[in-house]
Amino acid sequence: DGGITQSPKYLFRKEGQNVTLSCEQNLNHDAMYWYRQDPGQGLRLIYYSQIVNDFQKGDIAEGYSVSREKKESFPLTVTSAQKNPTAFYLCASSLRGDRKNEQFFGPGTRLTVL
């Protein structure tokens, strides 16, 4: 079954702690993305990667970091510098990183910082 997996589904962390969200895809897609979804604000792009070992900041990258060491994996670290980390995080991938390719989304991780 091809798709995108994100784990865990729910994550709780104490304020001041870094936390890493997992995203894995077995679709053989080149491009991967991280979005943050907040009520009434839609999806906002955090980081994206078009190819292994390369990634770019999206619209709201401050307080986040990523790595792309393998084609199938694109983990997101929410650092203590992120001022409002509680949110629903969505990972997506597309065959290539151009504007014509539809994105496939994972089930999301809901992060709550206490």
Cβ atoms of 19 and 78 closer than 8 Å: yes
By CB under 8 A, tell whether 40 contacts other proteins. Answer: yes
Give just the sign of the alpha carbon dihedral 12, 15, 18, 21.
Answer: positive
By CB under 8 A, tell whether 85 contacts other proteins. Answer: no
Figure out which of the listed residues 31, 32, 66, 113 binds other proteins, where binding follows CB under 8 A. 31
Give the nearer residue to other proteins in terms of CB position, either 16 or 40: 40
Q: What are phi and psi of 26, to 5 degrees?
A: -120, 30
Planar angle of CA 62, 42, 49, nearest 5 degrees: 50
Tokens of 56: 């770019």
- H or E segment to which residue 60 belongs: none
Residue 56 C-beta: closest distance to other proteins, Å: 6
By CB under 8 A, tell whether 106 contacts other proteins. Answer: yes
By CB under 8 A, tell whether 21 contacts other proteins. Answer: no
- Using CB under 8 A as the criterion, which residues of the chain lie in contact with other proteins when the complex forms? 31, 33, 35, 40-45, 48, 50, 56, 90, 92, 94, 97-103, 105-108
